[in-house]
Structure 1
């Protein structure tokens, strides 16, 4: 039994979450994901402000809110005159410079996925297992 416990403990020590980089640069606005292009938008085509980046992450995962894997918190999003939001929006890079971001689809993200909690679940199960083992061992004596 102690060999099995030691093996289980050794295996769980090396469990960790995998972090990866995003496949492409994007912004999320009100549940819609927009892929960043290299195309500049003429400032005369910029319409009203429609949102801004509320959080930044350069690690792959799922997040809620208006976030980006390229632009820092506070970066503003604008409508492009003559285009629907389902086609594209403009992202303000700096004063007078706007980049087109093409609509990719709906982003159904939530801040914490199962993989974020997996190490905690394994650790909790390990604690329960060890506690039960020692309680059982104590009762036998």
Structure 2
């Protein structure tokens, strides 16, 4: 992967769950496409493929909802966004071998989707993460 130091072997994974979002924005393919472009600039990542955005319309009684799913492959890994207009929910993953500013990513996404509630998880992954976890556990 371009820009990833293999010796470091740490990956950064931000997972955001947003609830009570502006449904119009969750269903706006153009907004989603622009959002992917904005994120690559904020993250200073390099697009390899995408964004690919697919509209899904589930059956009325389907638990899988209705909305847009977008995925973009970047040299540093990927960004994915999945919306559900029935519930006002969006899930977002930013996965990278390169450190990034979580606050800037959150700010950009909150501005776009206007959630009433947001949950965030950040995971450090890979061999370096395991070493970090062991170091933290022994202190």
TM-score, normalized by the shorter chain, greater than 0.5: no
Higher strand share: 2
- Normalising by structure 1, we get a TM-score of 0.22
Greater RCO between the two (CA within 8 Å, min separation 6)?
2
